[in-house]
Structure formats: structure tokens, C-alpha cells
Structure 1
């Protein structure tokens, strides 16, 4: 699988889904799009549909995760975690394919 969701991240994602009253059919799409200060940005959103030919679907800690084939090339081995401290709170991406990342951690170059 191209992307791994930690148990901590899945807990936060499930909490968000409950708060937003999302149904069981909601899937977390993780991908990349062109842009950001480093070349690519992470695309991290919930969807209700998949492309049977181009998407890979897995279930991790109770969260259904979708990654398209193109994004999978850049995200292979990536771990998504949730970090919470006094100074920072949010999802983090540990991407072994990133040559460099921006300071905010939401864009990278490969």
C-alpha cells in the first residue's frame, strides 16, 4: 500500500467524520496535486466515489483510504500521523520520496 495511516491519525479522522455526520460510504482520498512552494501539494479530503480503474482502496484502523495510481508513485511508503502539542496540532506526512519539503509540511518535491 502506498500510504499508511497511523492509529492516532485514524482516531482523529473518525472523530472528524462523526462530528461532520459522514456516512459509512465516506472514503479518505490521499493524493498529490501540482502546486505549493516545493512543487507538489498533498491532497487530503473525503470523497464518496472512487474510480475503479485508477484507485486503490484499503481499510486502515477503520478508515477507508483511496489513493490514485499517479499519486501512489509519489506517495509510496508515506505515513500519515496526527500530531498534537501546545504549539502545533494537525496531520503530518512522512514521505520517503520527498527530496525537500516546505516549512509548513504541506508541499514537497520529489
Structure 2
């Protein structure tokens, strides 16, 4: 059974947010109508096999892993957790582009888009 913003499976952080990434996530949370958590996931697809998914969610599922990074509540489903352990999520802003960045020690390859990876 799913419940709104309730986590019973708290764990040590599986992924880490940089200070800049956490600040950007808090900006998104401030604009939300309800209390939210950051859902980090792996989505099959992309040019290298998998893509990173970042969403604001109001639901924490019973089997989700739940933790905080830089004060931001984060949840990850069990399938995604196996590919994301040790992931560092950053945020950059420059003349060439703005967005979240991903450093994944489990990735054996990635493509130029920065959001697709292989294991």
C-alpha cells in the first residue's frame, strides 16, 4: 500500500546530492502544492541503455529506500538502487547549459547527453 510522504525503510544515503543540486531541488519543492520527496530512478532507454530519472513525488512506496542527502528527502525503488549505489548528483549552470549532472561509479559507459549510461 502506498502512502503520502511516509517512509519506513530508511537507509544510509544510496546517492549523494551536492550542495548546488540540493538547493535546486529545494527550489522545486518550494513551488510544489504538496509536500514532496525527490525520486531518483533508472529508466530503461536512452542511447546507452539506461537513463536517470529525477521527479518530485508525493508518494513513498512500501518497498522504497528512503534517506536524506543535504537535507533533501530522497527515495529510490529497489530496481533502481542496484544501479545507483554511490551516485553523486550535481547541478551546474554555464553559458553552454544548465542542469543536473550524474557521476555514477557503476556506469561502464555513457553518452554525450550526460543522462544515459550503460552497466
TM normalised by structure 2 equals 0.84
Structure 2 gap ranges (5+): 1-12
Structure 1 gap ranges (5+): none
- 1:108 and 1:37 map into 2 onto residues whose CA distance is 8
**Residue 21 of structure 2 aligns to a residue in which SS?**
helix
Paired residues in the alignment total: 107
2:79 aligned residue: 70
1:68 CA drift (Å): 1.1
1:28 CA drift (Å): 0.5
2:56 aligned residue: 46
Superposed counterparts of 1:4-15, under 5 Å? 4-15=16-27
1:104 CA drift (Å): 0.7
- 1:95 and 1:79 map into 2 onto residues whose CA distance is 7
- 1:43 and 1:85 map into 2 onto residues whose CA distance is 22
RMSD (Å) for aligned C-alpha atoms: 1.2
1:3 aligned residue: 15
1:37 CA drift (Å): 0.5
1:85 CA drift (Å): 1.3
2:7 aligned residue: none
